[in-house]
Every structure is written in C-alpha cells, then in structure tokens.
Amino acid sequence: MARMPENRPYHHGDLRSALLASAERTLREKGAGALSLRELARDTGVSHAAPGRHFKDKQALLNALALAGYDRMARSMEAADDPELPLQPRLTALARAYLGFAVDNAELLELMYARKHEPGAEEEMAAAIDHTVGRLAQIVAAAQRRGEIVEGDAEHLTLVVGTTLHGLATFAANGFTRPDGAMDAVPEVIHHLLHGLRPR
C-alpha cells in the first residue's frame, strides 16, 4: 500500500482546516484571484480531487474563508467586551479589538465584506455578520436604556458607531494612517463619537 508523504501538513481528517489555512496564506500573499483548488491541493500535499470533498468550487472556498474570518472576528470582539464597563471604555476596547483584527487580516476583511451579498451565501453571511454587528446593536440599545446615549432609532445609531469603527480600521489596514497611530487614536475617536466635535 502506498504511503502518504510524511511531510503532509494535515493529519487525522483535518484537511479542511489545512486547506483554509493554505488559502488564507495565498490570499494574504497574492490575493483572491490567485486561489484555486488545484493549487491548494498541491500546496497541501494531497490529490487534486481531495479539496472537492470539502469545497465544491472556488466560490464555496471563498465563502468558507469569509465565514471563518467572521468567526475569528466575533471571538476577538467577545474576548474584548466587558458588559460591566461604562459605554466609553467598553466601546474603546471593542474598537481596539476590531482595529487589531482589521490590521492583521486586511485581505481577509476585504473578502469578508465582499462575500456578504454573494448569491447562495446570503443566509450564512447574514448570520455571521449578525454575530458581530448584532453585538454592537445590543450595546447601543443597552446604552440607550441606561440613558448613556440619545434616544432614537437604535439601528441608525448602530450604523453610526459601526461605520466610525470600520472607517478607522480601513484607514489603518489600507495604509492611510499608521496602525500604531490609529490604535493610539481610538480613545479620542470614541470620545468624539460620543460627545461630538463642537466646542463645549
């Protein structure tokens, strides 16, 4: 019986994880256009047919990468969130977690948002997005109940908060500002978000 190569980068059935890890490396280094199941098979040391057991085509692979990204981002934000904190330090901690994820995973984050309207993946992506944006919506609604922020449409206020955090992260991830400078600016950004820019 032929033996599998000793240097294969997976074992005991975790091929899917190995393929996703290899795909993410390619995404970082060469972009989504360079991804192919055939190349992933070669990089992972398996037969050309093996990736097809986990991803029916490249689109399925890209969706899986995006969903894995949303899961990692959600776990990062969950780890940073402390419901016992007042709103300003709580949002500051969440903003830093999101910014850190965006800077470390710029290409993946771009893919994540690009795939959210992909036909056939809307339901899964919507659930994944809700796991992250939904947390922000809950924080906004709770802050309204406590009188920490203005009354009004919670969904609209969540959009304001979310776009502020995402804008800062995008600037840092795309080189418009230094990541360390953006991270240092987070408390001031959150302060202005909550208190406005008008002189007081």
Task: Find the CATH number of the domain harbouring 47.
Answer: 1.10.10
In this predicted model, what pLDDT tens digit does every residue of 128-186 receive, in sequence order? 888 888 889 989 999 999 999 999 999 999 999 999 999 999 999 888 999 999 999 99
Can you give the CATH number for the domain in which 171 is found? 1.10.357.10
- In DSSP notation, 100-158 reads HHHHHTHHHHHHHHHGGG-TT-HHHHHHHHHHHHHHHHHHHHHHHHTTSS--S-HHHHH
pTM, full prediction: 0.83
**Is pLDDT above 50 for 4?**
no
Which structural domain, as residue segments, surrounds residue 131?
65-195
Residue 200 falls inside a structural domain: no
Query: Mean pLDDT of all residues in the chain?
Result: 86
**Is pLDDT above 90 for 101?**
yes
Q: How confident is the model at residue 1 (pLDDT cuts 50, 70, 90)?
A: very low
pLDDT of residue 174: 86
